[in-house]
Amino acid sequence: MDRARIAVFDTTLRDGEQSPGCSMNMREKMRIARQLDRLGVDVIEAGFPIASDGDFEAVQAIAAAVRRPVIAALARCCTPDIERAWEALKGAARPRIHTFLATSDIHLKHKLKITREQCIEQAASAVRLAKSLCPDVQFSPEDATRTDRDFLIEVLNAVVAAGATTLNIPDTVGYTLPDEFRELITMIRQRVRGIENVTIAAHCHNDLGLAVANTLAALHAGARQVECTINGIGERAGNASLEEIVMAMRVRADRCPFDTGIVSEQLYPASQLLSDITKVSVQPNKAITGRNAFAHEAGIHQDGMLKNPLTYEIMTPQSVGVPDSRLVLGKHSGRHALAIRCAQLGYEFERRELDEVYRRFVVVADRIKTVQDSDLLGLIRELREHAARNASSEAIPSTIAAAPSGAMRPFPMPLHPAQEAGLGLSSVHEHHGEQEDYLWGV
Ligand code: MN
């Protein structure tokens, strides 16, 4: 199967930065830009130079320092914006001016207060100016998905004639649906004159949670550039998430005959860097980069994972740069997972010992959602003390042995959360229910 090369256009530093709480200073933007370079994106939209001196300087600095990817800067369709964008970009190895103008009637009438004819003229003359400065010019008809189709084609014809080399089709308000967006891209390919020499891009917002699905639909219709952000940050509900688009293509390569230059092992580091810089955390269940994205708690899932990760994993955590699949220990966990975690902490138990550890573990897990390593260590310590006290009379004497490394590890000794919560372990013997490993797993 012939696989099409898809350009990844990252707008974390422009559209992403427009999300509440995600402003970054120049040093922070530079760190993100360098990580995007390591990640292998094709285009970095570094900012909107007319917006502020800070934005201008950030674009200029990134253009000077990051030389492999194309560096793009945003400009409205007017002379000061385009000249300012070019001023910031001109030191770039591969500069791109990205100019945009709204084309939907609702934007023309209420926001821009111009006619359709004025819109076409303004778009074409802006692209002509940009082209006189820079060979690589991208045009976006803002709110394309709510624009009259025939008028959209007129605008696109005009900007292609004026020299645009990329036509980006934004679903600015996150309104479209996958089949509709696919039809729109197909129509553009059929009707715009000279489209064969132009790259079509998709820029989707996530207001209905469809940004990634819409982006993939556009690729199937012939778009060859995707616009996206790390962690899906961006205006309102955000932009299409870079990591989700890339991994959907990669995991479902059988249905997506597309390749990118993304080094997927850099996805998680990029996500972590961004949330560290912005202090905006990633939702725990976020696909690919959320902290639970590779966590398995249900016993049957954990057991399957330990036997063969392919039972419940469609991609490995390592493939996206997550250090290890996390088995979350909670009340749904089974003995197998518990034994593995204990071994990782330096303790190996025989079956009978493990049963005792497991009984105590279940009591604690019943009361706190997730049993952390420190909880588990506290539990093992208590059990040891209990066993030592009763060494002469109990049937479970010094059976809890340290792992082959020899001496017991020194415990970090924070107060055991179960103790803090006044739970104690005295109730351990009240818990008589036999826990089957697979009880909650189905
Ligand atoms: Mn946008």
Tokens standing for residue 106 = 């609702």
421 and 389 belong to one structural domain: yes
DSSP class of 104: S
Question: How close is the Cα of 18 to the center of ligand 1, in Å?
Answer: 9
Decide if 273 is inside a domain.
yes
Decide if 289 is inside a domain.
no
Say if CB 201 and CB 226 are below 8 A apart. yes
- For the ranges 189-193, 239-243, 279-283, the lowest mean pLDDT is seen at 279-283
265 and 319 belong to one structural domain: no
Question: How close is the Cα of 313 to the center of ligand 1, in Å?
Answer: 32
Total domain count for the chain? 2
- For residue 169, give the 3-state DSSP assignment: strand
Question: How close is the Cα of 67 to the center of ligand 1, in Å?
Answer: 25
Question: How close is the Cα of 28 to the center of ligand 1, in Å?
Answer: 21
Question: How close is the Cα of 272 to the center of ligand 1, in Å?
Answer: 22
265 and 312 belong to one structural domain: no
187 and 306 belong to one structural domain: no
Say if CB 418 and CB 368 are below 8 A apart. yes
379 and 255 belong to one structural domain: no
Going by pLDDT thresholds of 50, 70 and 90, the confidence category of residue 325 is low
pLDDT in tens, 73-113: 999 999 999 999 999 999 999 999 999 999 999 999 999 99
Say if CB 231 and CB 200 are below 8 A apart. no
Radius of gyration over every alpha carbon of the chain, rounded to an integer in angstroms: 28
241 and 372 belong to one structural domain: no
pLDDT in tens, 372-409: 777 888 888 888 888 888 875 544 444 444 443 333 33
306 and 261 belong to one structural domain: no
Say if CB 312 and CB 318 are below 8 A apart. no
Residue 23 domain boundaries: 4-278
Q: 344 versus 362: which is more confidently predicted?
A: 362
Decide if 283 is inside a domain.
no
97 and 58 belong to one structural domain: yes
The alpha carbon of residue 113 and the mean position of all alpha carbons in its chain are separated, in whole angstroms, by 37
- Which among 246, 278, 310 is the end of a domain? 278
272 and 312 belong to one structural domain: no
- Which among 225, 246, 278 is the end of a domain? 278
- Which among 278, 306, 321 is the end of a domain? 278
- For residue 80, give the 3-state DSSP assignment: helix
Element (H, E) at 351: helix 351-367
CA dihedral over 222, 226, 227, 228, signed as positive or negative: positive
Question: How close is the Cα of 295 to the center of ligand 1, in Å?
Answer: 32
- Identity (one letter) of the amino acid at 11? T
161 and 241 belong to one structural domain: yes
The reply to whether the predicted model has a pTM over 0.85 is no
Question: How close is the Cα of 267 to the center of ligand 1, in Å?
Answer: 21
Question: How close is the Cα of 228 to the center of ligand 1, in Å?
Answer: 9
User: What mean pLDDT is reported for the chain?
Assistant: 87
Decide if 287 is inside a domain.
no
Tokens standing for residue 225 = 């550039």
Question: How close is the Cα of 173 to the center of ligand 1, in Å?
Answer: 8
Say if CB 289 and CB 268 are below 8 A apart. yes
